[in-house]
Chains A and B, each alone.
Chain A
Amino acid sequence: MKPIFLIVGYFLLLINASAQTKPISGYVKNMDGKPIAGCHINPCNLNIASTQSNTEGYFIFEVPDTITYLTFRAESHAETQKINSSGRYKLNTLNIDEVVVSALQIPMQKRAAGYSIQCLSVDEIKNESANLLQKINGTIPGAYIQNSGGAPGQSVRMVLRGNKSLDPLAENQPAFVLNGMPIDNSTLAGFGSGESFAFSNRLIDLNINDLSDITVLKGASASSLYGMQAANGAVLIKTKQAKEPGFHIQLNSGVTIDKVTQFPEQQMKYMAGWYGKPKYLTNDFPFHAFGPLADTISGATFYNNLKNFFQEGVGFHQNLILSSHQDRAECLLSISNLNQNGVIPTTSMDRNTVMVQAGYEFTPKFRIEFFNHFSHLQGTLVPQGNESEITSGAMAQLYYYPTSIDVRDDKKNDGTMNTYTPWVKNPLYLAKHYHLNNTVNRNLTSIQAKWQIAEKTTIQALFGMDAYSDIRKRVLPGAQGTIKEVPLSAAGEMQKTTIDYRQLYSQFSISHTIATKNGSLHMTLGNELIDKQTDMDDVLGQRFVVSNYYNINNTEDQRYLSSSAQKRNAALYGSALFCYKDYWYTTVTGRQEWSSTLPVNHRTFFYPSISTSLILSDIDGIQKLAETIGLNTAQLRLSYAQAGKDARPYQTGSYYEYYDNFNSNVAYSKYSNIGSGNLKPERTHSMEIGCFMSFFNHRLSTDITFYHILSNNLLMGVPISEATGYKTYTTNAGSIVNQGIEWMLTIKPIAGQTFNWTSTWGFSKNWNEVTEIANNIGYIELPGTSYMYGGPVSIRLEKGSAYGNIYGTSQTRYQPKATGNQPDKNAPLLIDTKGFPVVDYQPKCLGNIQPDYIVTALNTLQYKRISFACLFEYKKGGDVFNQAEAFFAAQGTSMATLDRDQTRLFSGVTAAGDANTQEVWLGQGIQPSTGVDYGDGYYRNVYRKVAENFIEDASWVKLRDAHLSFASSFRSKYIRKLTFTAGITNLIVWTPFKGFDPEASQMGAGSNTQGFQGRGNPSVSSFYMGLNIELK
């Protein structure tokens, strides 16, 4: 089932196995009768005794007598898909006969997999997104992908089949495996004030053009062999290889133009001010936008500050790939540059990569592959504000600006900041002067050897390294010392953070195949070792002595922090794949794991999996019947798997941490977490049932999967009463159930020689419920809250509820019926003696962050060399707190505040139980007609303090991608092929959400705290063009 994009062609032919033992020979040719060179031919579905076709397409090799299938694998393009059989071979090109690489690089046919596997060809996805996850957004049912904003390189989060851990700091994203080696994709938040910057998830280091295909293993059955790291699923990434004989050059160029996807609206009727006057209290400047009506002021002007603040982001991407495949040696070299300027002034990213992928066959039975990807990334980031320093962020400052004051007027004549009030920074000035420069050097390298030590026995070994250094230098300039200056910071400060990450990985396995007349058995036994270490050093210097000289030595006060974490895992694993008569496949796996992060008595544990696949349509009796109803293929899948997951490092026991240096004394203080000495690994039990069916010569195919995943013994830092001396207690304390449906439907209404139309629909829905949380603790609050005037908005995980309830203040109801923790929407509002609704400060559940379901529709039209594709996504549900609107309401720039000169009768009930009859004025101060003093007014006293007013439905219909592509085949001497593509990504077609694009989550991809929008950089829509030239 991989109808979205064609990947490198894999083909299967049925052969006549009449002889006992003999060599098999033949030709591989395309539809035009031209020979296909370099085609890999393997017996059955196993990767043993393979051979390749030569330049004439000819091949010959010895196969065991019991082999009934040959697999042909040609690494060229879509048009060579159909291979001419030479009479003895029957052509069979079912989707499920693709060979995919499953866990630990064990090749298997999709038909043999008892669980759903999804493959994507990277080249077929045309958009120019720099982040792999953003690029594939919308193409995988069951994957929830969400960006955290549109700044260059900003992180993107991916969760497969729902969150499976409850620990606020646990990783819920899948493992990423590059050419067989797990690689880091963390989004490391900054430290201290560095936290206010939006960093990348480390997949950004990969040059997407270097990648050939991606396999998504969503369930535990698929990924169980990868062990703990893949308890949340796994994404297997393969880089391009020089498979095509000869020497080739490929050139890629891309341009992207980014614009902010959507803007909220602000009122443009009332000027800056307070109580209808142009100044705030006794100051000679305003602060809010509760000033006079513009009609009463001559020359009043309004500005669209939100739009004026942003610019167009422009990005360029260049890539050169050289590949050579001669005889026994192959080598591919790739060099690329990506340069992006963001929609927020001064934000940028510049990335250079070099990749080498080489293979050499020392003997036909011994092959070595070498892979290296080096990247150098430099980014300039602007603060987006964080929880404790919301006012340090550019976006929050922008929201403070009244619409009657031009935000572009950012500088005074003396070069210092111009701002309308000393309490608000000018966001443009802030963006231009307060930066964090981020430099990341990353090296990914691996050596792989494959040695066929006997006819049916192969040894594989892989050794790899993933190492990067991430250097972050933040400079907040201090005051210049001019008269009446409002500085960004009085004293200024600078911080340098260095993160060193390295992972050593080794894998060793031996596999053996036994083939009998009715089937085969393929066994693998292996061992895996992973050693990860992260070191962080952080130096902060505060109060510059000489202004404008940014050196830590030039600061009055310095502090240094460092931390180090090491995690080691060892594992032994085994798997056995039984294949019966080529229609029934069963896989059994087991893995014994050792983890350094668990107490000695619990550090080793075992988990098994079993899965089975039955190709009903290939069973003799059924085959005929199936054909009569137009059924070409029917596959049934069933699997059960367990997966373990260990703790983060150093969660056991208690500690004292460095607190401060007090003159010549050092202070150490209790660390806020205490860990149980009895921690056990988390365990996930996953069940999956699926069915693939294809009808009418594969013109209609459908693939449906149901899954049920129980994760228990969940490790958590449970919040406990601070009176215990600790804030959290790490223990096994919870369980969560995820269940869902993933459904794909592919229709090919038109499938002709010149015109093709393929329509693919995806539907996914995930239900989840937190079924247990430790002891009598009712909920866990995720770290990171959103700012609200009535008290912070937070995300809670609650027993009996789905992951991620949004909690905040609400309007008090009159005699609410018990409705759990939600405000009783049916009860009337309580109205106070002055005629206004009453704020309920006790936080209530106001919504849930998870979407109800997601539908995607991809339509691809192809006419000769022109193709058009568009991918729509409909997301139903998922609530989001609109942080921007909460600011607007408080500042008086919200559209809601336009009725401030009017009166309103709040419908509700007074404390005595009578219907409210008191009509109130919504403005500030004394109502002109009645002389009643309303103080700061409804919007300041009540409305802005009620989080309920700012929780919005974030459903959307998005055009994820639409592009037109033109491929031309040159008869030129040098150019073989030229492809030009132009398209757009991430357009909002419809959404009830009134802020910026609700997708951009302000906490970043590394955080489980989602559901807040506004404080961070907004998402962007892009227009892109790409040119791909293949030279001869």
Chain B
Amino acid sequence: MIRKGICLLGLGSLLAFTACNDWLGDNRNPGMLSEAPEDALLTAIIEQTANNHYNVALTTSLYVQHLASPNTNETDRYGRVTLNDCWSSLYGCMANASDLYRVALRNRDNHYAGAALVMLSYNALMTTDLWGDIPFTEAFDGADIIEPHYDTQEAVYDTIVKNIDRAIELFGLANSHKVFDGDILYNNQPQQWKRFAYSLKARTLMHLSRTASFDAEKILNAVDSAFTSIDGNAELHYSGNKNNPWYTLVYGMVKGGVLNGYLSAQLIESMKGNLQNGLPFDPRLTMMTDTLPGGGYAGTINGSAPPQTGFCTLTLHSWPSTSTAPILLLTYPEIKLIEAEASLLNGELTRAKDAFVTAIRSHMEMLDVDSNEANTYLQAVIQRIDETSLTINDIAYQKWLILYLQPEAWTELRRNKYALPGMTLPANCLTDRFIQRILYPDTEIALNSNCPKSSSQTDPLWWHQ
């Protein structure tokens, strides 16, 4: 009997342990992928970039006074802001782009590699323009470098420009492994991406106007290969079950009593022509919000309570918060304004004026403004620049409108030292100067010893000096 038992036990163990390794498996999660398909990764990167754009703009649109807080929220009054979640999603998206670049390069899928670099650069630019010095060249290395070094903003700009140049090269080559797919931005057209890359280069270089490395020629060269019409816009379109995030926000406000999306008095008063010398009512305002029940438009002064007599907000049918409105990553009108500014600084006044007018006209087109109303406004603009010539401030003001609800608006406003007619600190402001940067996230301070000691939110960034 004992022998029989031991035999049984022996047999059981033998069976169990010869098959043991197979039985235990390889510990790979069946619910996830070990290597992402390039197309699915590209789709994620583009969608995440648009989300980052929206999430950053939720805060920066207050700073640029496109929007105002409905309840004198501290963010609107320059309270402490670290944008932890934006940092997290920006780096998450850049890590995806960095992975796609690596995989695509290995597979010689040059168009994927190029698109990855453009999106990496786009997000890196957004990130550095919020925080200044950021981890970049040592970033996205997983467990190999768990405390990446911080690059100076100057170095980040250098790398971004190099990456864009590399992307432009890559779009000139062909994919050798897989078909370029999953591109929800340009529907898989590499040549469109190439124009986007040039446009992004122009935007990047324009930021450096106050630095020693500024080169107007370079910008104009980039502009030459950039977008040629609003059809080339880098914009993510929403359709079907995917709604524009601004729409979702406004939907919550309209249907759920969540307060948000109040237009700033600065924006409304500017567009009404009250703050502009010689400019009439801007017809774009009619596309951006509804008139008050009693007629007319009114905004909320940043930092103070909404006017009792009524105020304008984003609506479900106004531009750009309809369900199918695109998120605008980079547009042709912006490129034309960059061209205007660069040529102006380069002493090419005619080119500057032409580009300036084209920018506004194409923006009117983008918004579907009634052509008669658009012409009236354009005539006034043309008349004004003919009489008093074109100034950087004219360009800055139009850019501020063209970059409506875009994070780039804050970068441009800071570069131009908040020099808009009528622009003042928000009411009940917690600081005495305009806000210049976002503070480093608490997690980064705690987890990365390379994180610079915190500076003040009113300290300007490198390119501002």
Contacts and interface: CB of A to CB of B under 8 A. Distances in A.
A568 interface: yes
A653 interface: yes
B293 interface: no
B322 interface: no
A508 B96 CA distance: 49
A721 B29 contact: no
B27 A650 contact: yes
Given A600-B21, A659-B47, A423 B259 contact: yes
B305 to A, nearest CB: 4
A663 B29 contact: no
B32 A671 contact: yes
A372 B4 CA distance: 30
Contact of B71 (A281, A597, A727, A777): A281
Contact of B32 (A454, A527, A657): A657
B148 A656 contact: no
A654 B142 CA distance: 9
Contact of A726 (B1, B43, B95): B95
A655 B446 contact: no
Given A529-B16, A596-B25, A674-B142, A655 B33 contact: yes
Interface stretch (B133-141, B153-161, B226-234): B133-141
Contacts of A836: none
List of 7 A-B pairs having minimum Cβ-Cβ separation, nearest first: A490-B255, A725-B95, A422-B257, A490-B256, A667-B44, A656-B36, A723-B135
A490 B31 CA distance: 33
Given A668-B40, A668-B41, A724 B148 contact: yes
Given A649-B27, A720-B147, 12 more contacts: A281-B71, A282-B308, A454-B2, A566-B25, A655-B33, A656-B33, A656-B34, A668-B40, A719-B447, A724-B143, A775-B146, A778-B446
A834 B274 CA distance: 37
A362 interface: no
Interface in A648-681: 649-650, 652-663, 665-672, 674, 676
Contact of B147 (A423, A453, A598, A721): A721
A662 B47 contact: yes
B72 to A, nearest CB: 8
A724 B135 CA distance: 9
Given A525-B9, A566-B25, A722 B92 contact: yes
Contacts of A654: 34, 142
Interface string B308-334: 100000000000000000000000000
B134 A723 contact: yes
A565 B32 CA distance: 11
Contacts of B365: none
Contacts of B43: 660, 662, 665-668
Contacts of A594: 17, 20, 24
A596 B24 contact: yes
B278 interface: no
Interface in B250-290: 251-252, 254-259
A457 B36 contact: no
Interface string A430-460: 0000000000000000000000011001010
A725 B447 contact: no
B184 interface: yes
B39 interface: yes
B179 interface: no
Interface in A975-996: none
Given A565-B29, A653-B34, A725-B98, A669 B184 contact: no
Interface stretch (B235-243, B403-411, B417-425): B235-243
Contact of B148 (A566, A667, A721): A721
Interface residues of B, number: 84
A661 B239 CA distance: 12
Contact of B449 (A659, A662, A776): A776
Contacts of B240: 663
Nearest to B28: A650
Nearest to A508: B12
Contacts of B25: 566, 568, 596
Given A655-B33, A668-B33, A670-B99, A479 B9 contact: no
B400 interface: no
A570 B16 contact: yes
B186 to A, nearest CB: 13
Contacts of B134: 723
A653 B41 CA distance: 18
Kindly state the interface size class of chain A when it binds its partner: 35 or more
Nearest to A658: B32
A570 B19 CA distance: 11
Contact of A668 (B44, B241, B448): B44
Contacts of A719: 443, 447
Contacts of A597: 27
B162 interface: no
Interface string A390-430: 00000000000000000000000000000000110000000
Contacts of A659: 44, 47-48
Contacts of B460: none
B252 A652 contact: no
B140 A564 contact: no
Nearest to B182: A665
B17 A570 contact: yes
B20 A570 contact: yes
A950 to B, nearest CB: 20
A665 B31 contact: no
A779 B135 CA distance: 22
B456 interface: no
Interface string B341-373: 000000000000000000000000000000000
Contacts of A599: 27
A726 B40 contact: no
Contacts of B148: 721, 723-724
A510 B135 contact: no
18 contacts: A281-B71, A423-B257, A459-B8, A490-B256, A558-B241, A566-B30, A650-B27, A652-B27, A655-B32, A659-B47, A665-B43, A666-B43, A667-B47, A668-B41, A670-B96, A724-B141, A731-B143, A779-B446
Contact of B184 (A658, A662, A670): A662
B78 to A, nearest CB: 14
B91 interface: yes
B307 A556 contact: no
Contacts of A281: 71, 305-306
Contacts of B16: 527, 529, 570
A486 interface: yes
A598 B24 CA distance: 10
A669 B41 contact: yes
Nearest to B251: A490
Nearest to B95: A725
A722 B446 contact: no
Contacts of B142: 654, 674, 724-726, 729
A599 B257 CA distance: 52
A364 to B, nearest CB: 14
B255 A491 contact: yes
Contacts of B26: 600
B444 interface: yes
Contacts of B387: none
Nearest to B305: A281
Contact of A725 (B5, B36, B140): B140
A597 B27 CA distance: 6
A220 B37 CA distance: 46
Contacts of A510: 5-6, 9
Nearest to B306: A282
B440 to A, nearest CB: 11
A423 B259 CA distance: 8
A855 B143 CA distance: 46
A556 B241 contact: yes
Nearest to B1: A453
B191 interface: no
B80 interface: yes
A724 B146 contact: yes
A667 B20 contact: no
